[in-house]
Chains A and B, each alone.
Chain A
């Protein structure tokens, strides 16, 4: 027995704090969400179990239709910008711009939105869409003597998609450009000698090389977009009314604004379910090494 203790003591000590944190803020919350989803907990924090009440309420929720529609629009179009614009940025900065320092400069500039704190980044968009004549869009209108427009109120979804799209594009850009850079130089040279044109080069060499990263970025971003909402919260807070509210933000609002913790948990429970399925898919397709390959610092 003492020998056994001596053998496991060190690993136990080293992993202890790690395990406690993970238990406290990953495992326990998953269980709690699953249980809370079947209660009508409100600001009095009482555990009143009410069976499937929350889910029945959800189905008949008058806001559900517009929220689901928003979620689909938001995820689809943001993903489109993330992936395609990211790919274009990656190809432009690594393949067409052959001077590495200039490509790096452009990539660094595109990282600015990503490293900026969300509050600062959103401020820039608020100024862009400002309803007075001092906003960027409205100062263009002022030049043409057109009265200012309340962009955020009239096009909240477009604003949300653009702001999130640009941030995500830089993520795609980095992954794609490192994939393109790892194409052997001889392959590109050989194709050049054969007289391959740029389009053929993109189609036959670059696209096959980024096929896996492309899939990875798509799935990964899909997962993040479904469940994270801090830019929406800051930019429009889901408004006006429910016109830019998405499912994840709705769950947040129900819990932290209306103090309907039970109902909010039911919504979160569904999201966690979707996320678990998607994580499993990511896992199955990419396996352990591919999933982490991108975050190892070399």
Chain B
């Protein structure tokens, strides 16, 4: 009798102890469910001809994915090829990444190691610019691009986007250089290498993880970029996946969620792959550089 009572007591105590944790799982589960369902819908509806109640797929088919081999046509207008948009997106994000990494590594090294007048001021400025909301300057940026003859060109937007992200990139890379021991550089210089040679062949290989993280981050942010491409690019020849999808969404004749979700998934493949590969460092970078431009 007593043991049963004690057992019950123990069970109640255990319950009392675990209840908050169980509740936490419950709340998190319920709160996260909409996100899971939304992305699940994206997947399901891309393979379905029709969705019952908007949610249950009927008639599974690959029809929505036909944009991969034939251009989308809607009410008399033919959309540009998805592969052109994918190529342009790749060109945009790829050159953005290259430019950002090269300029960022150069500037980050200078900020970390070199001595020049106004070094402190430049460091403060780099930090301030990271907080500066550059979207407010879009009108002036338009004027400058127009003046330089770079309006409606992917290269113009690459330059703008690189500039907007470079303060943060340079600062992150500076952090990596800071962690490299001075001795490594001294040793190289005593052996008779020039400053540049030491930097290039000894120090840079040591910060490879930092370069990888910054590359992935800038590629992703270029791949997702919408506002700058939408504002500064007009012609169909320069369409990217972001503006392509936006065109499909805003077309009043187009309420075909099947097609929209298939294009979205196609667009998200690199994002998901890179996110899974680099999830940990990305979550940290994204916390600091979370400001979307």
Q: Measuring CB to CB, which residues of chain A are less than 8 angstroms from any residue of chain B?
A: 8, 10-15, 17-18, 21-22, 24-26, 28-30, 32-33, 36, 45, 89, 92-93, 96-98, 106-120, 122-124, 126-128, 130, 132-136, 138-139, 142-143, 166, 171, 174-175, 178, 198, 220, 223-224, 226-230, 233-234, 248, 251-252, 255-256, 261, 264-265, 268, 271-272, 275-276, 279, 282-283, 288, 291-292, 294-298
Contact = CB atoms under 8 A, between A and B. Distances in A.
Given A98-B21, A117-B268, A279-B128, A228 B116 contact: no
Chain A interface, DSSP helix/strand/loop, else mixed = helix
Contacts of A272: 136-137
Contacts of A106: 28, 32
Contacts of A136: 54-55
Nearest to B45: A127
Contact of B139 (A111, A130, A265, A275): A265
Interface residues of B, number: 104
B257 to A, nearest CB: 6
B137 A30 contact: yes
B219 interface: no
B74 interface: no
B28 A93 contact: yes
A130 B54 contact: yes
A29 B137 contact: yes
Given A261-B143, A268-B139, A126 B271 contact: no
B136 A268 contact: yes
Given A29-B140, A228-B293, A291 B131 contact: yes
A123 B249 contact: yes
Contacts of B146: 45
A174 B289 CA distance: 12
Contact of A96 (B20, B55, B285): B20
The 4 closest A-B pairs by CB, nearest first: A295-B288, A96-B24, A29-B140, A25-B163
A296 B268 contact: no
